[in-house]
Amino acid sequence: MTPIREVHGIDRARFDAEIRAAGQPVVLRGLAADWPVVCAARDSDEALVDYLKRFSHAEPVNAIVGAPEIEGRFFYTPDLSALNFTRGRSPLAPFLDRLLRDRGAARPFAIAVQSIPAPDLLPGFTGENGIDLVDATVVPRLWLGNAIRVATHYDLMENIGVVVAGRRRFTLFPPDQVGNLYMGPYELTPAGTPVSLVDPDAPDLDRYPRFAEALAHAQQAMLEPGDALYIPFHWWHAVASLAPVNVLCNYWWNPAPAGMASPYDALLLALFSLRTLPEDQRAVWRTMFDHLVFQRDGDPVAHLPAAVQGVLGPAGPDGLERMRATLLQSLSAG
């Protein structure tokens, strides 16, 4: 696969002007090399656990567990009717002790604590470990576990993931490869958005032949403690944690205006209202979306006075509220 481009010594101005503007993933080598938690992880797993326990509390947190038979791959059961792991809760300290204890097991249970806001999981952690590439209002999240694999998925956010401990392999696919990734069930997903059914580490090209085209567009990187990866909005990514003790800290944000409805909800509504129309009607609606939503012809209401542009006008606070009221009225009438 194509190696993901790498940069060193990045600052906020360059990150915004060069990295984000390009819309491509970038490895930020050594971004967090000086974090105290990274230094502890480089010392030993025990030193890492001791460091994390300084901030931990006794309240249980959400965790997931998979049997040894899944070999660390959180996914579906063979018939795709259920997930192959269970959810539970555990205080962090015994979870960390379990990570240490299972290091020598030949076939351990797959265990993970995922996407917990750092201030909730480890109060005080962010005071010693942080980056300045994103706004201070972006709350980092922590991901801890053993040697596990997360199926190829996308996030409705931009993302910087910082490897704190262990090694992680990231395999990324651009959004336009969705048709070659064989998306799984829409309603039942491991973590929110749909995932690819293809195992990128062992793809079955007889069953999923178009995945070969996705591989031709894939980018991959291996990250060590202190390294980070920028993942642009909606890029598909598979993540493999390769060590018995792994920790990731990530930053999610979305620059879209506050107060907007969820595009994910709009997609669901489109599936309900447009997908089964006759082809000639879908073609007409495709033209309308291109004109009004994606504005491929420029501003579609530039010819109208501002006072009568209505829901087609600027999406400021007043415009968004007007759109919301119009939508609710339309749904009520339906």
Q: CA 113 to CA 20: how far, in whole Å? A: 29
118 CB burial (10 A radius; 0-12, 13-18, 19+): buried
At which of 230, 253, 276 does a domain end? Answer: 253
For residue 17, the model assigns a pLDDT of 96
**Domain-located, residue 258:** no
Residues 223 and 270 in one domain: no
**Domain-located, residue 220:** yes
73-120: pLDDT as tens digits: 999 999 999 999 999 999 999 999 999 999 999 999 999 999 999 999
Residues 216 and 318 in one domain: no
For residue 334, the model assigns a pLDDT of 57
Residues 181 and 284 in one domain: no
Residues 212 and 126 in one domain: yes
**Domain-located, residue 150:** yes
Residues 278 and 243 in one domain: no
Q: Give me the residue label for tokens 């910087």.
A: 160
Of 8-12, 64-68, 139-143, least confident by mean pLDDT is 8-12
Of 13-27, 108-122, 203-217, 292-306, least confident by mean pLDDT is 292-306
232-282: pLDDT as tens digits: 999 999 999 999 999 999 999 998 877 777 888 888 888 888 999 999 999
Percent pLDDT > 90 in the chain is: 81
Residues 208 and 268 in one domain: no
Q: CA 239 to CA 131: how far, in whole Å? A: 22
For the chain, what is the mean pLDDT? 93
Residues 184 and 311 in one domain: no
Of 34-48, 164-178, 286-300, least confident by mean pLDDT is 286-300
At which of 253, 276, 306 does a domain end? Answer: 253
Number of domains into which the chain is organized = 2
Three-state SS at 253: strand
**Domain-located, residue 72:** yes
Give the bridge partners for 116, in sequence order.
142
Residues 117 and 230 in one domain: yes
Residues 144 and 10 in one domain: yes
Q: CA 217 to CA 127: how far, in whole Å? A: 39
Indicate the DSSP class of residue 313.
Answer: S
| DSSP state letters, 78-142 | TTSSSBSSEEEEE-HHHHHHHHHHGGG-SSPPEEEEEEEEHHHHSTTHHHHS--SSS-TTSPPEE
Residues 164 and 286 in one domain: no
Q: Which amino acid is at 184?
A: G
Q: Range of 305's domain? A: 263-333
Residues 183 and 280 in one domain: no
**Domain-located, residue 140:** yes
- What CATH number should be reported for the domain holding residue 170? 2.60.120.650
* 313 token code pair: 């006008």
At which of 218, 253, 288 does a domain end? Answer: 253
**Domain-located, residue 151:** yes
Residues 167 and 272 in one domain: no
